[in-house]
Amino acid sequence: MNIKQWLKGTSTALAVCFAMAATAQNTESPYSSYLFAFFSNNSPYGEQIRYAVSDDGFNYTSLNDGRPVVASDSIALKKSIRDPYICRGKDGKTFYIVLTDMRSDEGWQSNDGLILMKSTDLIHWQHTAIDFPTRFPNLIGFDRKNLHAVWAPQLIWDEKAGKYMIYYSIGRHDWEYPTDDPRFNQPYFKIFYSYVNEDFTDVTEPKLLFDFGKAAIDGDIIYDEKNDEYVLFFKDEGRSVMNKGFRTRQGVMRATSKNLTGPYKIEWRHVHKEGQFPVEGSSVFPLIGSDEYILMYDCYAQGFYQFCKSTDLKNFTFVQNTKTEGNFTPRHGSVMHITKAERERLEAWSALSLAVNELRHRSTPTLTLKQLEQRPALIKEAETVLATSADVKTLKKMTKKLEM
């Protein structure tokens, strides 16, 4: 299966994907909930798309009991995914997810591509995996041997180009630089961008979007309507080094530009809550019906997600740490607004998925002979409904049918 809500009332439809989506306003919103798309850990089972929903944007409940909502082996060349970025299209009814095509147990230098996904119901997805060395065989430095990684893609609508712009971090072995420890070099990541075709199945040749001077990953762009500028949030990646007199420490930083494709002016400070631990995967989205924005990021070594808020996209105050425990263990994900009807559809799909799983694993002694005979056909029927239907009544009817 598988948002930064687009700007309402602005001519810049840059909204489109939470980054695209941008100004929080006090006008009545058609949205009532938040949908969090994420992966959960570094195992192949964990590296799959999961969903959670929230009423307030800070506290989330997993759908499908924390189980995957899209199987990675059906969409990814590596059979695993990371860093899902989910958003609503500028038409208001199409959804997009872009992901890192990566399997971490093959190593942090094993990733050479990304995944494009498109849906009209948040449940059933068209998907295309793009391997950069194969897609761009003549692009110097992007060959299999030299390419270090293609990480954390995100999406935004470029009003001037009339296309979706996808941006992502690229690392190459020939860009590595020395650190304070002479034993180690640091992979040098820069943020690149491409445009996606109308079918959402291909991307154009990568172009440089942002060069921090040292490693920068996890870009997240949002349009600041008040100041008529784009704000790029990013992580200063890797081992701590001095960068133009600034000490990096794997934190969230800001850069701004009047143009989507740059150049971006760096603000030499960290905007997240001070701490002695690294963070990654920052995502900014507006609170529904408010002029406030939420900055969330993954405190991946601490066991929680951290949430801060702001009214100006510049100064953020700490709100809370949301524990990642039980069936809610998010890693580097993103949030979008959803309507009441969209939430009901997701919850109905989740309920049927859980009912199928429960019936499949129900112990034999709890079933009559007739129920045992009926079980295979019922499960097959329910799986067909899950794979083909997004109608709430149909999903609920099938869930009821599975009750034995």
User: Over the stretch 106-148, which tens digit does the pLDDT of each residue have?
Assistant: 998 889 999 999 999 999 999 999 999 999 999 999 999 999 9
CA distances from 55 to 32, 33, 61, 397 (A): 7, 5, 9, 26
Say if 115 falls within a structural domain: yes
CATH code of the domain in which 268 resides:
2.115.10.20
Query: What's the pLDDT at 271?
Result: 95
Say if 167 falls within a structural domain: yes
Asked if 377 and 256 sit in the same domain, the reply is no
Task: Report the distance separating Cα 134 and Cα 279, nearest Å.
Answer: 32
Say if 18 falls within a structural domain: no
For residue 340, count other CB atoms closer than 10 A to its CB: 11
Say if 1 falls within a structural domain: no
> Which of 150, 20, 29, 164 minimizes the C-alpha distance to 82?
150
Say if 103 falls within a structural domain: yes
Last residue of a domain, one of 291, 317, 338: 338
b (16+ CB within 10 A) / e for 91-109: eeeebbbbbbbbbbeeeee
Asked if 94 and 187 sit in the same domain, the reply is yes
Last residue of a domain, one of 316, 338, 360: 338
Query: What's the pLDDT at 9?
Result: 38
13 and 157 in contact (C-beta within 8 Å)? yes
Asked if 212 and 268 sit in the same domain, the reply is yes
Asked if 256 and 126 sit in the same domain, the reply is yes
Domain that holds residue 389: 347-401
In 270-370, beta strands by DSSP E: 280-286, 293-299, 304-310, 317-323, 331-338
Q: Which helix (H) or strand (E) holds 356?
A: helix 340-360
Say if 38 falls within a structural domain: yes
What residues form DSSP beta bridges with 146?
A: none
| Helices marked H in 66-193 | 132-135
Asked if 368 and 333 sit in the same domain, the reply is no
Asked if 97 and 164 sit in the same domain, the reply is yes
> Burial, 182: exposed, middle or buried (Cβ in 10 Å; 0-12, 13-18, 19+)?
exposed
Residues in the chain, pLDDT under 50: 1-16, 18-26
Say if 25 falls within a structural domain: no
Query: What's the pLDDT at 183?
Result: 87
> Which of 173, 198, 228 minimizes the C-alpha distance to 12?
228
Asked if 290 and 382 sit in the same domain, the reply is no
Query: In the structure encoding, which two tokens stand for residue 194, read together?
Result: 């491409």
Task: Report the distance separating Cα 60 and Cα 56, nearest Å.
Answer: 8
Task: Report the distance separating Cα 209 and Cα 352, nearest Å.
Answer: 43
> Which of 110, 106, 46, 123 minimizes the C-alpha distance to 82?
46
Asked if 374 and 321 sit in the same domain, the reply is no
Say if 9 falls within a structural domain: no
Asked if 98 and 235 sit in the same domain, the reply is yes
Task: Report the distance separating Cα 56 and Cα 53, nearest Å.
Answer: 9
Number of structural domains found in the chain:
2
Q: Following CA atoms 214, 85, 90, 23 in sequence, which dihedral angle do they give, to the nearest 10 degrees?
A: -70
Task: Report the distance separating Cα 363 and Cα 321, nearest Å.
Answer: 39
Query: What's the pLDDT at 43?
Result: 96
Asked if 138 and 240 sit in the same domain, the reply is yes
112 and 105 in contact (C-beta within 8 Å)? no
Asked if 51 and 181 sit in the same domain, the reply is yes
Task: Report the distance separating Cα 217 and Cα 111, nearest Å.
Answer: 14
What global pTM score does this model have? 0.92
